[in-house]
């Protein structure tokens, strides 16, 4: 089959004659507009990708904060529970004829005021600021390492729980443990 140039030319002209001129003009305009808008579409696509990335990052952060909040609430509930049965400590020195409550620090070594010896490992002690900790194998508050100290340290900010626990010891004959300085 031989390609006839004249015949093909007539066929294209017949096809163009059947198409209205308006359709051709609009087609060219829309095609040109599409080609001209490709860079803007690319920028829009990049912006949408960046927004999706920021949105996912924000969702991860919110999830992290929610999990952290739940962990803090659990720890606070545990601290409140432990504080209800801990042994409050006082400072070693007298002021105005009495011992005053003092703060526990990691590494503190609460001592029995009468015998001067450290408490047995595992005893829970607390201070008037809401700190509660467990005495380690070396008789100190901290991790069970060479330095010793309080371990399993928790904090409660619930003043009602603190006040209720400390009120029990006001004016009693109980000999509260002292913390050395």
- This prediction has a pTM of 0.57
Q: Are the beta carbons of 140 and 150 closer than 8 angstroms?
A: yes
- Distance (Å, rounded) from C-alpha 133 to C-alpha 149? 9
Residue 153 DSSP SS3: strand
Please give the pLDDT value at position 70.
95
Q: What are the residue ranges spanned by the domains of the chain?
A: 6-72, 84-179
Give, as one character, the DSSP assignment of residue 147. Answer: S
Region 122-141: what's the mean pLDDT? 82
pLDDT digits (tens, 9 = 90+) for 136-169: 876 666 555 444 455 678 888 888 888 888 887 7
Closest C-alpha to 79, from 104, 54, 115? 104
pLDDT in tens, 97-122: 666 777 888 777 888 777 878 888 88
Contact 178, 90 (CB under 8 A): yes
């Amino acid at each position: 089959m031989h390609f006839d140039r004249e015949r093909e030319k007539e066929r294209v002209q017949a096809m163009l004659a059947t198409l209205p001129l308006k359709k051709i003009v609009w087609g060219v305009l829309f095609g040109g507009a599409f080609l001209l808008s490709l860079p803007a579409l690319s920028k829009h696509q990049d912006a949408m990708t960046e927004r999706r990335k920021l949105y996912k990052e924000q969702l991860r952060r919110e999830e992290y904060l929610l999990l952290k909040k739940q962990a803090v609430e659990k720890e606070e509930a545990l601290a409140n529970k432990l504080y209800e049965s801990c042994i409050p400590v006082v400072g070693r020195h007298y002021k105005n004829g009495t011992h005053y409550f003092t703060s526990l620090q990691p590494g503190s070594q609460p001592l029995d005021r009468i015998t001067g010896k450290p408490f047995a490992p595992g005893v829970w002690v607390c201070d008037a600021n809401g700190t509660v900790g467990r005495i380690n194998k070396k008789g100190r508050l901290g991790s069970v390492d060479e330095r010793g100290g309080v371990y399993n340290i928790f904090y409660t900010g619930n003043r009602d729980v603190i006040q209720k626990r400390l009120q029990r010891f006001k004016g009693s004959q109980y000999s509260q443990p002292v913390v050395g300085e």
